[in-house]
Amino acid sequence: MKHFIYCALLAFLVGCGGNSSEMATDETKASPVKKPNFVIIFCDDLGYGDLGVYGNTEIKTPHLDAMAGQGLKLNSLYSISPVCSPSRAGLMTGRYPIRMGIHGVFFPESWTGMDTSEVTLAESLKEIGYATGIVGKWHLGHHHQYLPLQNGFDEYFGIPYSNDMEAVVYLEGNKVVDEAVDQRLTTRTYTEKALDFIERKKDQPFFLYLAHAMPHVPIYASDQFAGKSPRGLYGDVVEEIDLSTGQILKKLEEEGLAENTLVIFTSDNGPWLPFGPDGGSAGILREGKQYTFEGGMRVPGLLQWKGRIKPGQVSDEVVTMLDWFPTLGQLAGAKILSDRPIDGQDISSFLREQKPWENESWPTI
Residue 139 among the catalytic residues: yes
Judge whether residue 17 has pLDDT over 60: no
Burial 301-326 (b: 16+ CB within 10 A, else e): bbbbbbebbeeebebebbbbbbbbbb
Q: Which of 63, 139, 212, 216 is catalytic?
A: 139
Residues 68-92 have a mean pLDDT of 98
Q: Domain range for residue 275?
A: 41-353
Q: Residue 13: which pLDDT band, with cuts at 50, 70 and 90?
A: very low
Q: Residue 352: which pLDDT band, with cuts at 50, 70 and 90?
A: confident
pLDDT of residue 24: 39
Number of domains in the chain: 1
Residue 230 lies in a domain: yes
pLDDT of residue 350: 87
HSE-up of residue 91 (Cα within 13 Å, Cβ side): 27
At 313-344, the pLDDT tens digits run 999 999 999 999 999 999 999 999 999 999 99
**How far is 196 from 108, CA to CA, in rounded Å?**
29
Judge whether residue 31 has pLDDT over 60: no
Residue 16 among the catalytic residues: no
Q: Residue 361: which pLDDT band, with cuts at 50, 70 and 90?
A: low
Residues 53-65 have a mean pLDDT of 98
Q: CB of 124 within 8 A of CB of 207?
A: no
At 280-325, the pLDDT tens digits run 999 999 999 999 999 999 999 999 999 999 999 999 999 999 999 9
Q: Residue 232: which pLDDT band, with cuts at 50, 70 and 90?
A: very high
pLDDT of residue 16: 39
Residue 4 lies in a domain: no
Q: Is 337 exposed, middle or buried (0-12, 13-18, 19+ CB in 10 A)?
A: middle
Judge whether residue 80 has pLDDT over 70: yes
Q: CB of 213 within 8 A of CB of 268?
A: no
Give the 3-state secondary structure of residue 134: strand
Residue 236 lies in a domain: yes
Residue 21 lies in a domain: no
Task: Write the CATH number for 200.
Answer: 3.40.720.10
pLDDT of residue 26: 44
pLDDT of residue 351: 84
- In terms of Cα–Cα distance, which of 328, 336, 318 is closest to 4? 336
Residue 365 lies in a domain: no
Q: Residue 20: which pLDDT band, with cuts at 50, 70 and 90?
A: very low
CA angle at 134 for the pair 132 and 136, rounded to the nearest 5°: 175
pLDDT of residue 358: 65
Q: Which of 3, 16, 63, 84 is catalytic?
A: 84
pTM summary value: 0.90
Residue 144 lies in a domain: yes
At 167-220, the pLDDT tens digits run 799 999 999 999 999 999 999 999 999 999 999 999 999 999 999 999 999 999
Residue 36 lies in a domain: no
- Cα distances (angstroms) measured from residue 168 to each of 154, 161, 220, 270: 22, 8, 14, 23
- In terms of Cα–Cα distance, which of 213, 130, 133, 113 is closest to 173? 133
Residue 25 lies in a domain: no
Judge whether residue 3 has pLDDT over 70: no
State the DSSP H helix or E strand holding residue 229, giving kind and residue range, or none if neither.
Answer: none
Locate all alpha helices (DSSP H) within the chain, ordered by sequence.
Answer: 2-14, 26-30, 62-69, 84-93, 121-126, 186-201, 233-254, 294-297, 324-332, 348-353
Residues 135-159 have a mean pLDDT of 98
* Mean pLDDT taken over the chain: 91
Q: CB of 79 within 8 A of CB of 267?
A: yes
pLDDT of residue 359: 63
